[in-house]
Structure 1
């Protein structure tokens, strides 16, 4: 655990008592603060009280009179579409509002670091898609070479729940826009921006607010090295803002699908399955990504470029990174090959919760029997047009499956349930085809999470393969 610094004998309010909220309360207590907790869910409050934490209704008059700060869990809105009532009460009382990411960055370094031969590093990854794979791949590379590495944030453990990093250790964080938007301290050594596509627009009042939340990690974080995906205009703009000129190699530009100019300082890009690194106009490394089973498709090649660039920024050699990538197994629910039978492949990409990530999954495979549908996100399915060329047929799940199916530009069968969709897709699949779950929608109309949806897909496939 990372004890929170600078809070001795202070009363700190914690709003939201899920995984990150309870961990925050524990870390505050470890830092000699007095956490004052609240959650609208009585069961969550009961769990906190069982651990000895005091709970207080924070919207009552005077509730913030003795509170030094309010720490808000990621899922709770602090501004758009409207502030949570507790957050608004804190704002009116002039109480600073922060989150666990801000507490982490102000608390992770200790006096012990001065005695280390190599100071620990914090690498933070943000963007719309590919964050989890980039973090997991980089963590895998570091473990492969024997570096002490921990994953935290939206993947692995909560940021305050990890062990204090040791001599030469690396902490790799996955940070969502919810987390970067509110944190009062953001000071990574290396920051990565993967890409930007529409998502969470209601939470950020549009695309501009969404990009601004991501940009804070760089503009306010001041990383020593910034790795920026430049396949969208926002990434190009961000790289330009952070760079002092074409030869400034503090910015590493990353792309999938386009060759970047070798004169632009430091760049890493992938084309036709080959990763290339250029520095100061010369090629410094290359990797054939096509045979790496854990990284299928151009979208994963972009993730590979970002992780490669971060590993290079830490001083690792190209051939060492390539050897580590070869053994990367991939992440569950992200282009995860779960079975092969009768010449048919079965792939679980339940994490494809928006249109852009689903389109990228569709581009990674041939002859697809596509299971899709769920809780449709803002913006509709317009972004899928032109991405369904390899789709033989769609099998649509979800409570609004019929409406979802009407928006697709391929033959679609309304199945509603996962069981029906898997049954129909498997019955019609032929050798050389892929049955792919890539929903292009959130899971919450039928499942508690995308993980549960993916697990259901796996269970249905495995059950029918045993028949």
Structure 2
């Protein structure tokens, strides 16, 4: 645990008692504060009371008069589509609102940090797609290089549940827009922006608000070095705002599919090869086609981001290449779950929208595609560039028939459930083909979450293959 000591002796309200809320309460209490907790869910309140915390409704004027700070869990909206009533009460009372990410950065530098020969560094990763894989890959590369490193945030542990870092350690944080939009302190040493596609628009009041939440990671504290994906206009805008001159190497521009040039620092992937250029000279190159855990152009962008971040931390190109070759990928994200008879079975259950499913389709050549679920707005037309890679689609979900109607020009079999889809796809698959779960839809019509859907796919593959 990382204690939060700068609120010692003061009452702090905690709104929302999921992982981050309870973690913040424990860290504040360990630092001498008096946390007062609330959640609309009675089960969550009962869990907090069982730990000995004070639980009180926080929305009244009296409650607001007693607290010096309100800490809000990331799932609770503070502005759009409308402010939570407790947050609105805090505004009215002039009580500052923060979250666990803000508390984490406020806690940095206290305690033993002043005595370290090499103060710990923080790498923070944000973006629409790929931030989990990028964060995990950075962590893996550093771990393989023998560096003390921890992974937290929107992946793994809560930030305040981390062990106090040791001399020379690195903390890798994955930050969602929900986390970065409200944190009052954001001061990473290295900040990474992967890409931007439309998501969470109701929560942020549109695409501009969503980008603004991501941009705060670079604007609030000013990282020592920024790694920026420049394949979208927002990334190019952000890179331009950070650099003070064309050769400013505080900025590392990255791309998947575009050769970057200029006097600055660039890392790009093209035709399966990652290349680093700095001050007009090629520094390093990696054949990503040999990295089984990072298939497809979208993962090559993740590789560029992780390479750039770890280079900025002082690792050499060959160290990074060796570590990438041992990266197995994350569960449910282009995860190879089996190979049999020349057929590869890939679980990309995290591809819950059309954009991420398209990237998965473009990563493989001949696909038996397991897809479908709870459809999202916008239809399936954006999948068209990837459908040429699909030999046949096997559609699951309660809306399977409707989903199939959106796949014009593609051979389709309506299977409804995962067991039948995997059976049929495995039976039809020929050597050299990939049986791919990339649903392009939410999981909630049949599963609690995308993880459960991916686990079912893996289990059905194992059953069909007799493993």
TM-score (norm 1): 0.97
CA distance in 1, matches of 2:415, 2:281: 53
**Is 1:20–2:4 an aligned residue pair?**
no
Matches within 5 A, 1:317-396: 317-396=316-395
Q: CA deviation at 1:47?
A: 0.7
- Greater CA deviation, 429-438 or 128-137? 429-438
Q: 2: distance between equivalents of 1:376 and 1:177?
A: 23
Q: Residues 183, 382 of structure 1: CA spacing in aligned structure 2 closer, same or farther, 3 A cutoff?
A: farther
Determine if contact 1:108/1:164 at 8 Å carries over to the other structure.
no
> What displacement does 1:253 show?
0.2
Q: CA deviation at 1:283?
A: 0.5
Residues 29 and 83 of structure 1: CA distance in aligned 2, closer, same or farther (over 3 Å): same
CA distance in 2, matches of 1:47, 1:176: 26
Q: 2:10 corresponds to which residue?
A: 10
Tell me the residue number matched to 1:187.
Answer: 187
111-120 vs 242-251, which moves further: 111-120
Residues in 2 aligned to 1:177 and 1:61: alpha-carbon distance in whole angstroms: 30
Structure 1 residue 349 displacement after superposition: 0.6
Aligned equivalents of 1:455, 1:419: Cα separation in 2:
12
Q: Return the alpha-carbon distance in structure 2 between the equivalents of residues 440 and 111 of structure 1.
A: 47
Range that drifts further, 54-63 or 354-363: 54-63
Task: Tell me which residue corresponds to 2:265.
Answer: 266
> How far 1:60 moved relative to its partner?
4.0
CA–CA separation in structure 2 for the residues paired with 1:448 and 1:264: 49
Match runs of 1:49-198 below 5 Å: 49-198=49-198
**1:273-288 alignment runs, 5 A limit:** 273-288=272-287
Structure 2 unaligned segments of length 5 or more: list them: none
Shift of 1:278: 0.4
Distance 1:132 1:177 in 2: 13
Displacement of 1:378 after TM fit? 3.8
CA distance in 2, matches of 1:422, 1:210: 37
1:27-46 CA-to-partner distances (Å, cap 9, x unmatched) read 11111111111112111111
Question: Residues of 2 paired with 1:65 and 1:403: CA distance?
Answer: 54
> TM-score of the superposition, structure 2-length normalised?
0.97
Offset of residue 61 of structure 1: 4.9
CA contact (8 A) 1:5 1:106 kept: no
- What do residues 417-444 of structure 1 show as CA deviations (whole Å, max 9, x unaligned)? 2223222222322222111011122222
2-structure distance, mates of 1:368, 1:52: 53
The answer to whether the 8 A contact 1:201-1:378 is kept is no
Q: Is the 8 A contact 1:194 1:229 kept in 2?
A: yes
Partner of 2:291: 292
| Greater Cα shift, 242-251 or 382-391 | 382-391
1:230 Cα deviation from its structure 2 partner: 0.4
2:172 match: secondary structure:
strand
Q: Structure 1 residues 88 and 22 mapped into 2: Cα distance closer, same or farther (>3 Å)? A: same
Quick check: 44-53 or 84-93, which moved more?
A: 84-93
Q: Is the 8 A contact 2:190 2:227 kept in 1?
A: yes
Counterparts of 2:64 and 2:379 in 1: how far apart (Å)? Answer: 41
Question: What SS is found at the alignment partner of 2:64?
Answer: coil
* Alpha carbons 2:5, 2:33 under 8 Å: kept: no
- Bigger drift between 410-419 and 314-323 goes to 410-419
Q: Matches of residues 401-440 of structure 1 in structure 2 within 5 Å?
A: 401-409=400-408, 410-440=410-440
1:244 — aligned with what? Answer: 244
Q: Say yes or no: does 1:453 pair with 2:453.
A: yes
Secondary structure of the residue aligned to 1:124 is strand
3-state SS, counterpart of residue 178 of structure 2? helix
Change (3 A) 1:109 1:445: farther
Distance 1:210 1:125 in 2: 15
Distance in 2 of aligned mates of 1:416 and 1:63: 51
Structure-2 separation of matches of 1:21 and 1:432? 48
The answer to whether the Cα contact below 8 Å between 2:263 and 2:280 also exists between their aligned partners in 1 is yes
Instruction: Output one character per residue of 1:393-413: Cα deviation in whole Å (capped at 9) or x when no partner.
Output: 222222322222222232333
Cα distance in 2, alignment partners of residues 373 and 14 from structure 1? 38
Q: Once the 2 structures are TM-superposed, how far is the Cα of residue 111 of structure 1 from its aligned partner?
A: 4.2
Moved more, 439-448 or 245-254: 439-448
Indicate conservation of the 8 Å contact 2:352/2:441, yes or no. Answer: yes
Q: 1:62 is paired with a residue of what secondary structure?
A: helix
Q: Are residues 446 and 61 of structure 1, via their aligned partners in 2, closer, same or farther at CA, if it must alter by over 3 Å?
A: farther
CA drift of 1:377 comes to 3.1
Check whether the contact 1:121–1:168 (CA below 8 A) recurs between aligned residues: yes
Aligned-partner Cα distance in 1 for 2:75–2:372: 23
